[in-house]
């Protein structure tokens, strides 16, 4: 007859091992919100299944190690602009909600550096040191809490400083035809701030890399990079980078404002920013307006 006692012993041993394995399982449960990429085109991905995604939330594509930014929320799908090489994404890739909004490095460590809108260095000088992370989208200070404009910014051009002076804390539009010297006026203003206790941030939006390199070389030659940050989103960069560039520069300037310093930010130029936003909006299938620009293009620049 078979040995029943041996069979019972083996079964009990197996049960004991299973109990030990169950008890040693990690007790922390991990819940992830994931979706699937339906299509990718022109730097924009259409994702299904991310029903809890937030406007402006960072999305992660683990199979490609790429991040995206949720900009279009519909009942069934999420439209995300890709912050990186969107050509790597494929239909069927997984997208994860991170529950976070976009943050970039800010601080004194950026002074003298050339970075992209995400704060990654472009000047070959290594990682950015001595910086901290800050949200790109913030609630602006209320009107009551703002100081009145009482201190001028000297541009170095007598006609402007005497007739239409620019104050610290105000916005000023430089408008003109192509080749009339708008960029030269902005660069001269930066050069004139030497010794003025003013941090300058030059945001190159959709400019050719060669043009930006010449501007950086001129700033270095005149010693202006000692108090200047250059944020560059080139003409060959994805539209999402061009879209984020002015907000990244503003976040860097807000850091100095919050720490009791003054900052001068130059956006060169916002026309290319509007074109990049139009491109993204059309791919996201937002309703077009005049000249195919979306209806919120003016709010885009006012904020």
Please name which of 113, 184, 116 lies closest in space to residue 155, comparing C-alpha atoms.
184
- Mean pLDDT score, 245-271: 94
Round to whole Å and give the CA distance between 27 and 23.
9
- Residues 173-226: pLDDT tens digits? 999 898 899 999 999 999 999 988 899 999 999 999 999 999 999 999 999 999
Exposed/middle/buried for 117, CB within 10 Å: 0-12, 13-18, 19+?
A: buried
Ordered by start, the domain boundaries in the chain are 34-101, 103-302
Report the chain's mean pLDDT, rounded to a whole number: 89
CB–CB of 103/251 below 8 Å?
Answer: no
Angle between helix 239-258 and helix 270-283 axes, rounded to 10 deg: 130
Q: What is the mean pLDDT of residues 241-268?
A: 94
Instruction: Give 70-124 pLDDT, tens digit per residue.
Output: 999 988 899 999 998 888 899 999 999 998 999 999 999 999 999 999 999 999 8
Task: Report whether 224 contacts 191 (CB < 8 A).
Answer: yes
- CA–CA dist 46, 81 (Å, integer): 9
168: its two tokens: 């610290």
Q: What is the pLDDT of residue 1?
A: 47
27 pairs with which residues across the strands? none
Residue 296's pLDDT band (cuts 50, 70, 90): confident
Q: What is the fold, at CATH topology level, of the domain defined by 34-101?
A: Elongation Factor Tu (Ef-tu); domain 3 (2.40.30)
Tallying the residues shown for the chain, one arrives at 303
The DSSP secondary-structure symbol of 139 reads P
Burial of 145: CB neighbours in 10 Å, binned 0-12, 13-18, 19+: exposed
Instruction: Work out the percent of the chain whose per-residue pLDDT is above 70.
Output: 94
pTM above 0.75, yes or no: yes
pLDDT at position 82, please?
Answer: 92
Q: What is the pLDDT at residue 179?
A: 85
Q: Is 103-302 a domain of CATH 3.10.20.30?
A: no
Whether the pLDDT of residue 291 is over 50: the answer is yes
Q: Is pLDDT of 269 > 50?
A: yes
Q: What is the pLDDT of residues 23-73, one digit of tens each?
A: 776 666 567 788 999 999 888 999 998 888 899 999 999 988 899 999 999
Of residues 2 and 35, which shows the higher confidence score?
35
Pairing of strands 228-234, 114-115: parallel
């Amino acid at each position: 007859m078979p040995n029943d006692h041996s069979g019972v012993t083996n079964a009990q041993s197996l049960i004991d091992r299973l109990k030990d394995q169950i008890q040693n399982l990690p007790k922390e449960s991990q819940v992830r919100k994931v979706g699937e990429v339906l299509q990718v085109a022109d730097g924009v991905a259409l994702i299904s299944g991310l029903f809890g995604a937030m406007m402006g939330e960072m999305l992660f594509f683990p199979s490609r190690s790429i991040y995206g930014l949720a900009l279009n929320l519909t009942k069934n799908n999420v439209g995300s602009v890709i912050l990186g090489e969107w050509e790597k994404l494929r239909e069927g890739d997984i997208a994860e909600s991170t529950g976070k909004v976009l943050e970039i490095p800010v601080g004194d460590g950026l002074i003298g550096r050339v970075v992209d809108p995400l704060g990654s260095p472009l000047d070959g000088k290594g990682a950015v040191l001595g910086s901290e992370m800050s949200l790109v989208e913030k609630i602006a200070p209320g009107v009551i809490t703002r100081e009145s404009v009482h201190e001028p910014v000297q541009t170095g051009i007598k006609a402007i400083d005497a007739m239409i002076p620019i104050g610290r804390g105000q916005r000023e539009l430089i408008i003109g035809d192509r080749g009339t010297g708008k960029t030269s006026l902005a660069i001269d203003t930066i050069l004139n701030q030497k010794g003025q206790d003013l941090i300058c941030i030059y945001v190159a939006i959709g400019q050719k890399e060669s043009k930006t390199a010449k501007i950086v070389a001129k700033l270095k030659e005149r010693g202006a990079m000692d108090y200047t940050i250059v944020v560059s989103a080139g003409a060959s960069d994805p539209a999402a980078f061009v879209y984020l560039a002015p907000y990244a520069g503003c976040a860097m300037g807000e850091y100095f404002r919050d720490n009791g310093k003054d900052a001068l930010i130059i956006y060169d130029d916002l026309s290319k920013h509007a074109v990049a936003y139009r491109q993204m909006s059309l791919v996201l299938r937002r309703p077009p307006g005049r000249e195919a620009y979306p209806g919120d293009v003016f709010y885009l620049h006012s904020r």
